[in-house]
Protein backbone atom coordinates (compact mmCIF):
# COMPACT_ATOMS: atom_id res chain seq x y z
CA UNK A 1 0.00 0.00 0.00
CA UNK A 2 1.05 3.61 -0.47
CA UNK A 3 3.05 5.71 1.98
CA UNK A 4 0.26 8.25 2.21
CA UNK A 5 -3.34 7.08 2.36
CA UNK A 6 -6.21 9.53 2.51
CA UNK A 7 -9.54 8.94 4.14
CA UNK A 8 -12.35 9.12 3.25
CA UNK A 9 -12.01 8.37 -0.47
CA UNK A 10 -14.96 10.62 -1.25
CA UNK A 11 -16.75 13.34 0.67
CA UNK A 12 -19.91 15.24 -0.22
CA UNK A 13 -20.97 18.25 1.82
CA UNK A 14 -23.20 21.30 1.60
CA UNK A 15 -21.75 24.72 0.89
CA UNK A 16 -20.87 26.45 4.15
CA UNK A 17 -20.09 23.23 6.00
CA UNK A 18 -16.60 22.21 7.08
CA UNK A 19 -14.72 19.41 5.33
CA UNK A 20 -12.23 17.24 7.16
CA UNK A 21 -9.86 14.94 5.31
CA UNK A 22 -7.34 12.59 6.85
CA UNK A 23 -4.03 11.18 5.75
CA UNK A 24 -2.02 8.38 7.31
CA UNK A 25 1.52 7.40 6.45
CA UNK A 26 3.96 4.67 7.36
CA UNK A 27 7.54 5.93 7.62
CA UNK A 28 9.21 8.97 9.16
CA UNK A 29 8.78 12.16 7.23
CA UNK A 30 10.57 15.46 6.71
CA UNK A 31 7.34 17.21 5.90
CA UNK A 32 3.78 16.55 4.77
CA UNK A 33 2.03 18.56 2.08
CA UNK A 34 -1.52 18.88 0.80
CA UNK A 35 -2.36 19.52 -2.83
CA UNK A 36 -5.58 20.16 -4.74
CA UNK A 37 -6.37 19.00 -8.25
CA UNK A 38 -9.27 20.24 -10.33
CA UNK A 39 -10.70 17.79 -12.85
CA UNK A 40 -7.62 16.15 -14.40
CA UNK A 41 -5.45 19.24 -14.39
CA UNK A 42 -2.17 19.88 -12.61
CA UNK A 43 -1.92 19.88 -8.84
CA UNK A 44 -1.81 23.06 -6.80
CA UNK A 45 0.14 23.20 -3.56
CA UNK A 46 -2.04 24.16 -0.59
CA UNK A 47 0.04 23.90 2.55
CA UNK A 48 3.17 22.27 3.97
CA UNK A 49 3.68 21.20 7.57
CA UNK A 50 7.09 20.16 8.84
CA UNK A 51 7.66 17.15 11.06
CA UNK A 52 8.36 19.39 14.08
CA UNK A 53 5.12 21.36 13.66
CA UNK A 54 1.74 20.32 15.01
CA UNK A 55 -0.68 22.76 13.38
CA UNK A 56 -0.66 25.25 10.57
CA UNK A 57 -3.21 27.65 9.12
CA UNK A 58 -3.61 29.24 5.73
CA UNK A 59 -6.81 31.16 5.08
CA UNK A 60 -9.70 28.71 5.43
CA UNK A 61 -7.31 25.76 5.68
CA UNK A 62 -6.07 24.19 8.88
CA UNK A 63 -3.63 21.29 8.87
CA UNK A 64 -2.62 19.21 11.86
CA UNK A 65 0.14 16.68 12.12
CA UNK A 66 0.50 13.93 14.71
CA UNK A 67 3.83 12.21 14.15
CA UNK A 68 3.20 9.72 16.96
CA UNK A 69 0.13 8.45 15.09
CA UNK A 70 1.66 9.11 11.68
CA UNK A 71 -1.39 11.02 10.60
CA UNK A 72 -2.47 14.42 9.37
CA UNK A 73 -5.78 16.12 8.82
CA UNK A 74 -6.83 18.92 6.50
CA UNK A 75 -9.80 21.03 7.53
CA UNK A 76 -11.48 23.35 5.07
CA UNK A 77 -13.83 25.70 6.87
CA UNK A 78 -16.92 27.34 5.38
CA UNK A 79 -16.61 25.33 2.16
CA UNK A 80 -17.55 26.78 -1.21
CA UNK A 81 -18.62 25.15 -4.45
CA UNK A 82 -15.22 26.16 -5.86
CA UNK A 83 -13.56 23.84 -3.31
CA UNK A 84 -14.90 20.88 -5.30
CA UNK A 85 -11.74 19.03 -6.33
CA UNK A 86 -9.51 16.09 -5.46
CA UNK A 87 -7.19 16.55 -2.51
CA UNK A 88 -3.90 14.71 -2.07
CA UNK A 89 -1.50 14.41 0.79
CA UNK A 90 2.15 13.97 -0.05
CA UNK A 91 4.92 12.91 2.28
CA UNK A 92 8.54 13.87 1.92
CA UNK A 93 10.56 10.92 3.19
CA UNK A 94 14.24 10.14 3.20
CA UNK A 95 15.27 7.30 0.91
CA UNK A 96 18.99 6.76 1.11
CA UNK A 97 20.80 10.01 0.48
CA UNK A 98 17.83 11.71 -1.13
CA UNK A 99 14.33 12.52 -0.11
CA UNK A 100 11.30 11.47 -2.09
CA UNK A 101 7.79 12.91 -2.35
CA UNK A 102 5.05 10.26 -2.32
CA UNK A 103 1.39 11.01 -2.99
CA UNK A 104 -1.69 9.25 -1.71
CA UNK A 105 -4.56 8.29 -4.02
CA UNK A 106 -6.58 11.33 -3.15
CA UNK A 107 -9.95 12.34 -1.73
CA UNK A 108 -12.74 13.55 -3.99
CA UNK A 109 -14.55 16.44 -2.36
CA UNK A 110 -17.91 17.59 -3.73
CA UNK A 111 -19.40 20.77 -2.32
CA UNK A 112 -23.08 21.15 -3.17
CA UNK A 113 -24.29 24.71 -3.71
CA UNK B 1 7.04 34.28 -13.72
CA UNK B 2 5.55 31.89 -16.22
CA UNK B 3 4.33 28.60 -14.78
CA UNK B 4 5.41 25.10 -15.65
CA UNK B 5 4.57 24.25 -19.23
CA UNK B 6 4.15 20.84 -20.76
CA UNK B 7 3.93 19.89 -24.40
CA UNK B 8 2.02 18.44 -26.01
CA UNK B 9 -1.15 18.63 -23.94
CA UNK B 10 -2.79 15.68 -25.65
CA UNK B 11 -1.31 12.76 -27.52
CA UNK B 12 -2.71 9.64 -29.14
CA UNK B 13 -0.35 6.81 -30.00
CA UNK B 14 -0.65 3.14 -30.88
CA UNK B 15 0.87 0.18 -29.09
CA UNK B 16 4.53 -0.32 -29.86
CA UNK B 17 5.23 3.29 -30.70
CA UNK B 18 7.40 5.58 -28.64
CA UNK B 19 6.63 9.02 -27.29
CA UNK B 20 8.57 12.00 -25.96
CA UNK B 21 7.00 14.50 -23.59
CA UNK B 22 8.50 17.85 -22.73
CA UNK B 23 8.45 19.97 -19.60
CA UNK B 24 9.72 23.51 -19.11
CA UNK B 25 10.06 24.37 -15.43
CA UNK B 26 9.61 27.74 -13.82
CA UNK B 27 12.60 29.97 -14.51
CA UNK B 28 15.28 29.39 -11.89
CA UNK B 29 13.95 26.00 -10.79
CA UNK B 30 16.54 23.28 -11.06
CA UNK B 31 14.52 20.27 -9.97
CA UNK B 32 12.03 18.59 -12.29
CA UNK B 33 9.95 15.59 -11.26
CA UNK B 34 7.69 13.44 -13.41
CA UNK B 35 4.57 11.59 -12.27
CA UNK B 36 2.12 9.24 -13.93
CA UNK B 37 -1.51 9.56 -12.87
CA UNK B 38 -4.11 6.89 -13.58
CA UNK B 39 -7.52 6.26 -11.99
CA UNK B 40 -6.41 2.91 -10.63
CA UNK B 41 -2.92 3.66 -9.33
CA UNK B 42 -3.21 7.33 -8.52
CA UNK B 43 -0.13 9.53 -8.72
CA UNK B 44 3.04 7.53 -9.12
CA UNK B 45 6.53 8.99 -9.07
CA UNK B 46 8.57 8.31 -12.19
CA UNK B 47 11.84 10.16 -11.65
CA UNK B 48 13.39 13.43 -10.62
CA UNK B 49 16.20 15.40 -12.17
CA UNK B 50 18.29 18.04 -10.51
CA UNK B 51 20.98 19.93 -12.40
CA UNK B 52 20.90 17.44 -15.28
CA UNK B 53 21.37 14.42 -12.98
CA UNK B 54 18.72 11.85 -12.18
CA UNK B 55 18.42 12.13 -8.43
CA UNK B 56 15.61 9.72 -7.73
CA UNK B 57 13.72 7.04 -9.60
CA UNK B 58 10.39 5.30 -9.06
CA UNK B 59 9.45 1.71 -9.78
CA UNK B 60 8.83 1.85 -13.50
CA UNK B 61 10.28 -0.39 -16.22
CA UNK B 62 13.24 0.71 -18.27
CA UNK B 63 10.90 1.71 -21.10
CA UNK B 64 10.43 4.94 -19.17
CA UNK B 65 13.41 7.24 -19.34
CA UNK B 66 14.11 10.90 -18.97
CA UNK B 67 16.72 13.57 -19.17
CA UNK B 68 17.30 17.16 -18.21
CA UNK B 69 19.07 19.79 -20.21
CA UNK B 70 21.38 22.54 -19.01
CA UNK B 71 18.50 25.05 -19.11
CA UNK B 72 16.56 22.72 -16.73
CA UNK B 73 14.03 21.74 -19.37
CA UNK B 74 13.24 18.05 -19.14
CA UNK B 75 11.96 15.36 -21.43
CA UNK B 76 10.61 11.95 -20.70
CA UNK B 77 10.47 9.14 -23.20
CA UNK B 78 8.37 6.01 -23.23
CA UNK B 79 9.35 3.33 -25.70
CA UNK B 80 7.30 0.38 -26.91
CA UNK B 81 4.05 1.82 -25.65
CA UNK B 82 1.51 -0.44 -23.97
CA UNK B 83 -2.20 0.13 -23.43
CA UNK B 84 -1.53 0.52 -19.71
CA UNK B 85 0.67 3.54 -20.37
CA UNK B 86 -2.45 5.61 -21.05
CA UNK B 87 -2.38 8.22 -18.33
CA UNK B 88 -1.97 11.85 -17.41
CA UNK B 89 1.75 12.61 -17.18
CA UNK B 90 2.51 15.45 -14.82
CA UNK B 91 5.69 17.38 -14.47
CA UNK B 92 6.55 19.44 -11.41
CA UNK B 93 9.39 21.81 -10.70
CA UNK B 94 10.88 23.21 -7.52
CA UNK B 95 13.77 25.54 -6.83
CA UNK B 96 16.19 23.35 -4.95
CA UNK B 97 17.10 20.01 -3.58
CA UNK B 98 14.48 19.63 -0.90
CA UNK B 99 10.86 18.73 -1.53
CA UNK B 100 9.09 21.82 -0.39
CA UNK B 101 6.38 23.27 -2.60
CA UNK B 102 6.20 21.62 -6.00
CA UNK B 103 4.77 23.56 -8.93
CA UNK B 104 2.88 21.37 -11.35
CA UNK B 105 2.25 21.77 -15.04
CA UNK B 106 -1.15 21.06 -16.62
CA UNK B 107 -0.08 17.58 -17.72
CA UNK B 108 0.06 15.66 -20.97
CA UNK B 109 -2.86 13.30 -21.56
CA UNK B 110 -1.48 10.24 -23.37
CA UNK B 111 -3.86 7.75 -24.90
CA UNK B 112 -2.46 4.49 -26.26
CA UNK B 113 -4.71 2.62 -28.71
Residue pair B24/B5 in contact (Cβ under 8 Å)? The answer is yes
A103 touches chain B (CB under 8 A): yes
Indicate yes or no: CB of B45 within 8 angstroms of CB of A106. no
> Which tens digit of pLDDT belongs to each residue from A21-33?
999 999 889 899 9
Indicate yes or no: CB of A101 within 8 angstroms of CB of B105. no
pLDDT tens over chain B, length 113 residues: 789 999 999 999 999 999 999 999 999 999 999 999 998 888 999 999 999 999 888 899 999 999 999 999 999 999 999 999 999 999 999 987 666 789 999 999 999 99
Give the whole-angstrom CA distance, residue B46 versus residue A71.
25
Based on the number of CB atoms within 10 Å of its own CB, is A20 exposed (0-12), middle (13-18) or buried (19 or more)?
Answer: middle
Within 8 A of B55 by CB-CB distance, chain A residues are 98
Low-confidence stretches of chain A (pLDDT beneath 70): 1-3, 95-98
Query: A5-7 and A19-24 as β-strands: parallel, antiparallel, unpaired?
Result: antiparallel
Give the whole-angstrom CA distance, residue A109 versus residue A19.
8
A108 touches chain B (CB under 8 A): no
Based on the number of CB atoms within 10 Å of its own CB, is B34 exposed (0-12), middle (13-18) or buried (19 or more)?
Answer: buried
> Which tens digit of pLDDT belongs to each residue from A70-87?
999 999 999 999 999 999
Within 8 A of B106 by CB-CB distance, chain A residues are 41-42
Within 8 A of B46 by CB-CB distance, chain A residues are none
Rounded to whole angstroms, the maximal C-alpha distance in chain A is 48
pLDDT of residue B97: 67
Amino acid sequence: SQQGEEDPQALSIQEGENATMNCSYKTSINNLQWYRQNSGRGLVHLILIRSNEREKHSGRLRVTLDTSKKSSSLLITASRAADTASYFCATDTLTGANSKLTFGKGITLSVRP
Amino acid sequence: KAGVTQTPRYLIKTRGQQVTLSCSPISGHRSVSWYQQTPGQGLQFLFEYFSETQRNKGNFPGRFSGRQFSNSRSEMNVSTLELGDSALYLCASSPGKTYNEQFFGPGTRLTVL
